[in-house]
Amino acid sequence: MKILPYKNLFIGITETLHNVFFENKYADRELEKMLKSNRKWGSKDRAFIAETVYDTVRWKRMIEASMGKEVAPDNLWEFVGTWFVLEDEKLPFWDEFKKISAKDVLKRNHAATDGNFAIRESMPQWMYDLGLKELGKNQWHQEVETMNLPAPTVIRTNTLKTDRKALQKNLKDQGFLTEVLSKYPDALEMADKANIFKTDAFQAGLFEVQDAGSQLIAPYLNVQPGMRVIDACAGAGGKTLHLAAMMQNKGQIYALDIHEWKLQELKKRAKRAGAQNIQTKVIDSTKVIKKMEGTADRVLIDAPCSGLGVLSRNPDSKWKLTPEFIEDIKKIQAEILDSYSKMVKNGGALVYATCSILPSENQNQVQAFLANHPEFKLVREKQLFPSQTGYDGFYMAYLEKN
């Protein structure tokens, strides 16, 4: 992207970065707010701002090393300017960029990144060390490099309302080109970045935005129309909606979560998608789970996790996550597996899934669970690595209850 030398765009960028770095806000939401409150910006301006915010968040550690100091509220312009110098762009002659010497930036960059993978690839040191310990150098380095690439936009055809071919044509007629992903039965990848939420097709519920790897989780449950299915960590319902489509609206899906606001969002999405076999329930006490014990043909535990498989989509997680959070979430995963697995009926099955690539959140959790639950057996498991698929990293395990 060529630099767009309009000061108000840079004000938008630095204000968004301020909220992400210093107010602990999420990059995607801050960006959305910023773009919404500046309706006069054209599509080029919007793309420039979005790309610059995502790039600078992604490359924070490497930019800081090249700037010679940590980013702070009073040096955000220098931070952004340093990024453009590294991108070989000519900076506008503005006072805010006066202090930046391109020669010094490049010299510092070379000194800091030469032979230092974690700085070169902009990873917090503790996160780099953790991945190295769990995955080994070869695998981890490949994942880090892949997750530093911008995430593609993939959509899932809502087969309750249309099929992939018809959707592709519909979007083409509206000026949106897509590519069929042959290994993912309902997926289309957008050829360009575009606001597809505004399309008639989206408003009519013909598709949902969902990463290709994520689209493999609902099929992993092997659901049939008419089954009783519990999506125990349903959130805003990405997988619930997919399950409803696979079950052709027949049978019953119980979508649970501890956050009511997420289930409210799920309800809105279900309405748009025409999914009619979903009932939501907030987990506000242990009684909710107890009541459902032994009742489900299938239980999906799409567990809360570190998100270390989806850094490409959420680069700000690199700076928000902490080692303590990951240790805590692992304990929660084990507790959830232990108590929610009781909802599976005899002869039924459970899928445990995460969007992490760390064995300690995935295979090791499943093995520890199996050691204490001889009534379950592991039938199959799959780890999707971003470096191998080009999409987000996910883990899924299918466990049968005897």
- Asked if 227 is part of the footprint of ligand SAM (rule: CB under 6 A), the reply reads no
Q: End-to-end distance of the chain based on CA atoms, in angstroms?
A: 56
Cβ at position 244, least distance to ligand SAM in Å: 12
Provide the CA 210 distance to its chain's centre, in angstroms.
9
- Asked if 336 is part of the footprint of ligand SAM (rule: CB under 6 A), the reply reads yes
Distance, CA of 324 to CA of 123 (rounded, Å):
17
What are residue 339's phi and psi, to 5 degrees? Answer: -85, -40
Select from 9, 71, 283, 299 the one that contacts ligand SAM (CB under 6 A): 283
Cβ at position 267, least distance to ligand SAM in Å: 13
257 is in an annotated binding site: yes
Instruction: Find the part of the chain contacting ligand SAM (CB under 6 A) among 133-141, 175-183, 255-263, 311-319.
Output: 255-263
Distance, CA of 6 to CA of 49 (rounded, Å):
11
The β-bridge partners of 296 are: 344
Select from 25, 193, 262, 345 the one that contacts ligand SAM (CB under 6 A): 262
302 is in an annotated binding site: yes
Window 302 to 321, contacts with ligand SAM (CB under 6 A)? 302, 304
- Asked if 213 is part of the footprint of ligand SAM (rule: CB under 6 A), the reply reads no
| Residue 43 near residue 51, CB atoms below 8 Å | no
- Asked if 218 is part of the footprint of ligand SAM (rule: CB under 6 A), the reply reads no
- Asked if 246 is part of the footprint of ligand SAM (rule: CB under 6 A), the reply reads no
Select from 78, 143, 257, 297 the one that contacts ligand SAM (CB under 6 A): 257
200 is in an annotated binding site: no
Helix (H, G, I), strand (E, B) or coil at 109: helix
355 noted as active-site residue: yes
C-beta of 141 vs 272, nearer to ligand SAM: 272
Among the listed residues 86, 245, 350, 355, the single catalytic one is 355
Cβ at position 216, least distance to ligand SAM in Å: 12
**Residue whose structure tokens are 């006072």:** 95
Question: Which of 211, 220, 219 shows the shortest CA–CA distance to 156?
Answer: 211
Burial of residue 364 (number of CB atoms within 10 Å: 0-12, 13-18, 19+)? middle
Burial of residue 40 (number of CB atoms within 10 Å: 0-12, 13-18, 19+)? exposed
Report the 10 Å Cβ neighbour count for 272. 17
Select from 161, 239, 313, 318 the one that contacts ligand SAM (CB under 6 A): 239
- Strands 278-282, 252-257: pairing kind: parallel
C-beta of 62 vs 234, nearer to ligand SAM: 234
Question: Which of 203, 235, 196 shows the shortest CA–CA distance to 217?
Answer: 235
Select from 12, 81, 152, 235 the one that contacts ligand SAM (CB under 6 A): 235
- Asked if 393 is part of the footprint of ligand SAM (rule: CB under 6 A), the reply reads no
Window 31 to 70, contacts with ligand SAM (CB under 6 A)? none
Cβ at position 33, least distance to ligand SAM in Å: 21
C-beta of 147 vs 236, nearer to ligand SAM: 236
Cβ at position 295, least distance to ligand SAM in Å: 17
Segment (H or E) for 350: strand 344-354
Q: Which two tokens stand for residue 216?
A: 């493999």
Distance, CA of 232 to CA of 386 (rounded, Å):
26
Catalytic residues: 355
Annotated binding site: 257, 284, 302
Interacting residue ranges for ligand SAM, rule: CB under 6 A: 232-239, 257-259, 262, 283, 302, 304, 336
